[in-house]
Amino acid sequence: MNNKLHNFNDIRFIHEKIFWFMNKNPEDLILYAQSNEKDFFSDIRNQKGDIFICGYEAKQKFHEMANRYLKSHPERNKTNLAAFTLKIEEEFLRRFIEKAEEITDRNIDKMFATAHKSISREFEQLIHYIPCRIFFSTKITSFEIGSIKFLHKNKFNSDYGDEINRLRTEIKEEPRIFCTSTISNDFPAERTATDEQSHQLANILVDGLLTSFEYYDWIAIVNIHKCNEKVSYGKAIYATRTALNILRLLFGSYYTDEIRIGIDCGVFLESAKLTRKENGKLDINLSGASNGNVIGDEWLEHLKSDVLGDCFNSASKVLNLSLDFDHSYPLCTRFIDALSWYGDAVSERVYATKIVKYVTSIERLVGTGKETNKEVTQIVTQRASMLYSIGTVENESYSTIKTKISELYDCRSKLVHGSLSPFDESCISYSYKAEEISRMVLLVGLSYFSSWGIDDVSFNNKKLKNKYNDLEILLGPRVQ
């Protein structure tokens, strides 16, 4: 069934369901609701807030239609699916219920076009300020990874502190302007915010922001091109996480396990422990964590040194490509996915979960989707061993490397399938091996991805499989 016919049938179905509910008398609706709660509480609303019950299945069809439309739309990556679905619901009600337009392909196309035009008018270019825990620093005030700039909180407060504090007055004035407008439109004056309430609101917002940011030593500044506001924030979080994952990869888990952005879960900066001693007395213990890893202020120079410089530049390019709304870069996406698994593993506190995530990062980098289930373990192990052997400086034979990676992969499989307890002591040593191996595989993989065409929009799984096969032939006896 093509999309036009699919949409036509869905609109007809929704239309019939709405009128079915509208024609029910109140007593029958109450009886229906008692045995069909999910249907009864599935509704759509117009811009005036009027409610139209449509049933669960009809409600789902709006989501499906919105998804189908966006799949082929040039601005699909800029549009929030949930927000667009609401626009379609509103436009459906306006056209086919309130104006009683005939359900035709032409009118359905107009519905979609009007709905998307409405949401695209709300697109904005936004700059996001994301609090982060990175490295404890006394000298470094700012640095950049790709197009993302990071400011130490002291510099952030110096550059933006006065502007943020001025928001107390601006936020206080905004409700007053709104009140003046609403009162003139016959809205009861006693229901509008007083000056004192407006003042309290301004202080709550500004003080809440400053208190929250105070827990973090770094603020990421991320500029996102015009798109839906929720999409913009999601893209900013995605980019900031990617930037921090780049640091995790380049410096390793030992130096970066405390790195995270503000909305991520992690170790509390302050914690308390209460126990009772054998003598019956209560004992209080307070502890605190540093606001980021402590590695000295030379890390920025090291990041740009000959040792890490090429990897840092390649990773920065990947980050910049990921912010492009208009094009998709398959190798770039694949590397960021693998990097995300690696970064999650670094921050993870449970050893067994670390193993699963580290091995998954390897699999995402070297698996192409062109292998059968029987082949995947062997091929993933072979390709991972190949990349690791290229990057390692240790005098390990290829057979030794392959055995080590095979054992790691087997450990991950046993954990996932339940034959190994996540509390088994072996998980501790395997987690360290997993970090070392996955880090090297990703670093070498980044180098090859960059040379193969990380900015090539036409790169596909078949090409990647061929590249890995060519690399294996090139290395020859070394990987036999």
Supply the DSSP string of 351-397, one letter for each residue: HHHHHHHHHHHHHHHH--S-S-HHHHHHHHHHHHHHHHHHH--S---
Please give the pLDDT value at position 114: 97
Distance, CA of 175 to CA of 263 (rounded, Å): 29
Tell me which long-range contacts 40-44 makes (C-beta under 8 A, separation of at least 24). 44/89, 44/90, 44/92, 44/93
Distance, CA of 120 to CA of 109 (rounded, Å): 16
332 and 319 share one domain: no
Residue carrying the six token digits 């912010």: 323
- Degrees, nearest 5: CA angle 376-367-405: 65
Domain that holds residue 86: 3-120
Q: Which of 9-13, 197-201, 236-240 has the lowest mean pLDDT?
A: 197-201
pTM comes to 0.88
Reported as type and span, the H/E element at residue 133 is strand 124-133
Please give the pLDDT value at position 373: 62
CA torsion angle 92 94 100 103 (round to 10): -30
**Domain C-terminal end among 65, 85, 120:** 120
Q: Which of 6-20, 102-116, 377-391 has the lowest mean pLDDT?
A: 377-391
187 and 307 share one domain: yes
- Provide the token pair at 149: 């700039």
pLDDT above 70 (res 183)? no
Q: Residues 6 or more apart from 105 whose CB is under 8 A from it?
A: 4, 8
* Cα dihedral 26, 29, 33, 39 sign: negative
* pLDDT average, residue stretch 467-472: 91
Q: Residues 6 or more apart from 18 whose CB is under 8 A from it?
A: 52, 53, 54, 58, 97
Distance, CA of 401 to CA of 444 (rounded, Å): 15
Distance, CA of 238 to CA of 264 (rounded, Å): 12
Distance, CA of 19 to CA of 53 (rounded, Å): 9
Please give the pLDDT value at position 180: 42
* Tally of structural domains, the chain: 3
Please give the pLDDT value at position 11: 96
335 and 410 share one domain: yes
* pLDDT average, residue stretch 132-142: 91
Q: Confirm if 217 and 312 have CB atoms less than 8 A apart.
A: no
280 and 348 share one domain: no
Please give the pLDDT value at position 294: 81
- Provide the token pair at 432: 């360290």
Bigger pLDDT: 80 or 398? 80
Q: Residues 6 or more apart from 145 whose CB is under 8 A from it?
A: 243, 246, 247, 312, 315, 316, 319
Among 416, 296, 427, 461, residue whose Cα is nearest residue 350? 427
* pLDDT average, residue stretch 350-357: 96
272 and 289 share one domain: yes
Distance, CA of 90 to CA of 48 (rounded, Å): 10
291 and 425 share one domain: no
**CB-facing half-sphere around the CA of 179: CA atoms within 13 A:** 15
pLDDT, tens digit, for every residue of 389-407?
998 866 788 889 999 999 9
- Degrees, nearest 5: CA angle 416-391-258: 55
Please give the pLDDT value at position 181: 42
**Domain C-terminal end among 323, 351, 377:** 323
- Provide the token pair at 258: 């405390």
Q: Which of 86-100, 143-157, 283-297 has the lowest mean pLDDT?
A: 283-297
Confidence of residue 40 (pLDDT cuts 50, 70, 90): confident
* Cα dihedral 300, 306, 307, 309 sign: positive
CA torsion angle 361 366 372 378 (round to 10): -90
Among 366, 415, 387, 411, residue whose Cα is nearest residue 479? 387
**What angle separates helix 426-452 from helix 229-251, to the nearest 10 degrees?**
110
pLDDT, tens digit, for every residue of 46-78?
988 899 999 999 999 999 999 999 999 999 999
CA torsion angle 347 348 352 355 (round to 10): -30
Please give the pLDDT value at position 178: 43
- Degrees, nearest 5: CA angle 443-290-286: 140
350 and 242 share one domain: no
* pLDDT average, residue stretch 292-305: 84
Tell me which long-range contacts 424-428 makes (C-beta under 8 A, separation of at least 24). 424/352, 427/351, 427/352, 427/355, 428/351
Please give the single-letter amino acid code of residue 68: R
**Domain C-terminal end among 323, 338, 364:** 323
378 and 340 share one domain: yes
265 and 387 share one domain: no
Please give the pLDDT value at position 182: 41
72 and 201 share one domain: no
pLDDT above 80 (res 479)? no
471 and 341 share one domain: yes
pLDDT above 80 (res 151)? yes
174 and 310 share one domain: yes
Sequence length of the chain is 480
pLDDT, tens digit, for every residue of 405-449?
999 999 999 999 999 999 999 999 999 999 999 999 999 999 999
Please give the pLDDT value at position 270: 64
Among 358, 338, 372, 330, residue whose Cα is nearest residue 461? 330
Name the average pLDDT for the chain.
88
* pLDDT average, residue stretch 119-124: 95
* pLDDT average, residue stretch 218-236: 94
pLDDT above 80 (res 173)? no
Reported as type and span, the H/E element at residue 455 is none
pLDDT above 80 (res 268)? no
* pLDDT average, residue stretch 350-365: 96
